[in-house]
């Protein structure tokens, strides 16, 4: 889930469902330490070789989302909130094709977030660079 507002008040977990969220190796290692899970239990490498959060077969949501439902409008809580990847923290801010920070169309409450800043763009670019470089390093 993204920043605290409006996610919790709206009971939203849309961005944790059918997730394609990438993460760094350091973030994965932190989640291994935090959960005791093997990395293969919560990540997979997508077709571009990028380490990505895994969805649960039944709920079709991120394996860390506490939910019983596969309904994209159902509530859910992140079970690793304090250790969630940076991409989860910055969402719904994402990079545009021109490397500007924009509010992602996939967030149903995006109009309730402040406009993205230059700092958001810098954070996202830095994260993307790290993730891409790790995907090419294997
Ligand atoms: S790690 Fe948490 S915030 Fe990120 S997609 Fe999974 S459940 Fe959502
Ligand atoms: S989709 Fe938007 S409102 Fe919903 S949890 Fe994610 S960031 Fe928050």
Among 18, 10, 86, which residue's Cα sits nearest to residue 58?
18
Helix, strand and coil in the chain, % to nearest 5: 40, 15, 45
Residue 21: give the domain boundaries. Answer: 4-137
Counting atoms of ligand 2 from 1, which one is nearest the CA of 112? 3
The residues lining ligand 1, judged by C-beta closer than 6 Å to any ligand atom, are 1, 16, 19, 21, 53, 62, 64-65, 78, 80, 84, 88
Per-residue pLDDT of the chain (138 residues; tens, 9 = 90+): 444 579 988 889 999 999 999 999 999 999 999 999 999 999 999 999 999 999 999 999 999 999 999 998 899 999 999 999 999 999 999 999 999 999 999 999 999 999 999 999 999 999 999 999 999 875
Handedness of CA 6, 10, 56, 33 (dihedral sign): positive
Ligand that lies nearest to the alpha carbon of residue 3, given by its number in the listed order: 2
Q: How many independent structural domains does the chain possess?
A: 1
What is the whole-number distance in angstroms between the Cα of residue 58 and the centre of ligand 1?
16
Confirm whether pTM is higher than 0.75: yes
For the CA of 92, the closest atom of ligand 2 is 7
- DSSP characters for 20-60? --B--HHHHHHHHHHH---GGGTEEE-TTS-EEEPBPTTT-
The Cα–Cα gap between 27 and 12 comes to 24
Structure-block tokens of residue 137: 């390093």
């Amino acid at each position: 889930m993204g920043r605290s507002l409006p996610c919790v008040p709206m009971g939203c977990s849309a961005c944790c469902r059918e997730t394609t969220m990438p993460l760094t190796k350091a973030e994965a290692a932190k989640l291994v330490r935090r959960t005791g899970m093997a990395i293969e239990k919560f990540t997979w490498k997508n077709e571009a070789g990028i380490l990505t959060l895994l969805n649960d077969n039944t709920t079709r949501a991120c394996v860390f989302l506490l939910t019983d439902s596969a309904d994209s409008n159902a509530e859910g809580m992140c079970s690793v909130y304090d250790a969630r990847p940076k991409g989860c923290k910055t969402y719904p801010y994402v990079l545009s094709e021109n490397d500007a920070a924009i509010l992602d169309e996939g967030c149903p409450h995006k109009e309730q977030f402040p406009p993205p800043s230059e700092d958001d763009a810098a954070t996202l670019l830095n994260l993307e660079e790290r993730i891409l470089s790790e995907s090419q390093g294997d």
